[in-house]
Structure 1
Amino acid sequence: MNQDWAERDGNGHYWPGQPPLIPASFYPTPADPLVSPNYEGWWRRSVTLAARIWKPSLVLHAILVLPTLALTVPADAYFTAENERLQATAVRGATTAGFAPLVELFQAYLVLLAALLASALVSAIATAIAVRLVVLAATGQPVSLRAAAGYGLRRTHAVLGWGLLGGLLTGASVLLCVLPVFYVAAVLTVLTVVVTLEPGSGIGRCFAIFHADFGTSVARVATIFGITVAAAVGLGLAGAVLTTALGTTGGLAVATLMDGAFTLAAGIILPPMLVTAYADMRARLEPFSTAYLAPPPH
């Protein structure tokens, strides 16, 4: 038993005792909108908050999905065409082309990589804004996209900077084998939330809150990973089937529409799960409740 959890609610769940000089409202109760005592409570809070933010979050991601698709679709089509060209050259056994097809494929890969990186940066900004939407909903404030965007955009430089460092750290962990990649990726799942809500904090903070209660952190993050991976695999299989049935161009067009629909759905579902996971991790490390995120009284 964790001795730091000194109080129970009516269901026998442990909640942290209130240290001296900390107001009662600044420690979580069973009714806290963000902090939950168990997995079921985390899931319920995530669904509740998703229902509160879905309209502005849908508008946000609908606005951002267009420039994202404008970046990735042409780059993906370019890479696919060059890849097919290289394969056709190999089948014909042509030797006069030399290394030209391979060089062009590499160029297409670089274009695709740049487009995916730009898309990831746009996604990080959208997540920061959506995180603020969740906080507005949890603290009982009007869920305004304009207010959330103003706050999120002010954190853009930090989100992008820490996001790039997190990506480099994850990439470096690839060199150490498979398990470190999963571990680092799991720890950094809430990086955007940490950077958005805690100015001055970053990767080190993610490690601290993740290890405060390892089981709780793994349960939340594994669920988020599971949903994301299952959706990605499903979309990949559907795209392969559509490409076979409709041809490269038609299959790519339909797969792009499906990816856009998934982006809209993920923009509604995932931010509440990330914010509540962050809240659960932080509350197990230190005194924390939704009250900490509420605006100061005027």
Structure 2
Amino acid sequence: MEFRYLGNSGLKVSAISYGNWVTHGSQVEADRATVCVRAALEAGITTFDTADVYANTAAEKILGDALAGQRRESLEIFTKVYFPTGPRGHNDTGLSRKHILESINGSLQRLQTDYVDLYQAHRYDHFTPLEETMEAFADVVRSGKALYIGVSEWTPEQLRAGHALARELRIPFVSNQPQYNALYRVIEPEVVPTCRELGISQVVFSPIAQGVLTGKYKPGQPVPEGSRATDKDGSVFIKNLLTDDTLSKVQQLQPLADAEGLTMAQLAIAWVLANDNVASAITGGSRPEQITANAAAAGKKLSAETLAGIDAALGDAVQRDGSVVGQASPSRRLS
């Protein structure tokens, strides 16, 4: 396993991390989830990413159970706060002081740990003053309940403002968690340069585009049963990619993967890790063999010819419009 520094900090994380967004408590039940977590550990993965909203808190509980008995100091556990959980009461969402301080306590209880290594704002909250949010995060850090602070899907302007407040409050703001893969590169124009300047790393989700970049979705054929395209959450991120034109372009990546001695999934992950602002690529997996195979992409360096070949094969199927960054942050209260 390769390890990389998280932002401008001394914390190292595994270049491949294991996330349980649409698996634990949804596609994968507890027993199989534990087998998958053990496979991740055996493959050298030490970084685990979850969120309180995943499966309405069940994913955190399952991950906590699966990691029970492991040496805590050898793990990096990430979770997030923002979206509604529980009964979806009027304060059960957002980045208010109330919601943050109550949510961290619930997350720690479910994860069976005294602290998380990284506590992330799952989206930007347009309805809470940023000062209130960052002051609450500062209290979480100073209480020892989180070691570092990060965010997810924030714009360059939001990142700058949050980072400035974090510096004033003397708390370590070290990461952003965006969607990023060879088909979806919207963070490249502005987010990545901003983060390099500020000392913030990317911890990216969907490095294989919810499975599209594995080649398992074939043009002109129905989607496989049990795939992300059939999951109500995962399908949101995949439906626009399931066109015959895009899927045909993806099939052209197979010879490039073969030439590198990689699977198409490993090729996609290695492509993401070629970006030096990426600290870790979050991979999922409902079967242990998937996790083992994904982890093998760590440390693989793609040739310049392969990188150029990926660009040529995908062509205009790649989304590069940086103006869409931040659109995932809700424009209205969710409860």
TM exceeding 0.5: no
Greater helix fraction, Structure 1 or Structure 2: 1
- Relative to total residues, which structure has the larger strand share, 1 or 2? 2
- Please tell me whether Structure 1 or Structure 2 has the larger radius of gyration of its CA atoms: 1
TM (norm. structure 1) is 0.24
- TM-score where L is the length of structure 2: 0.22
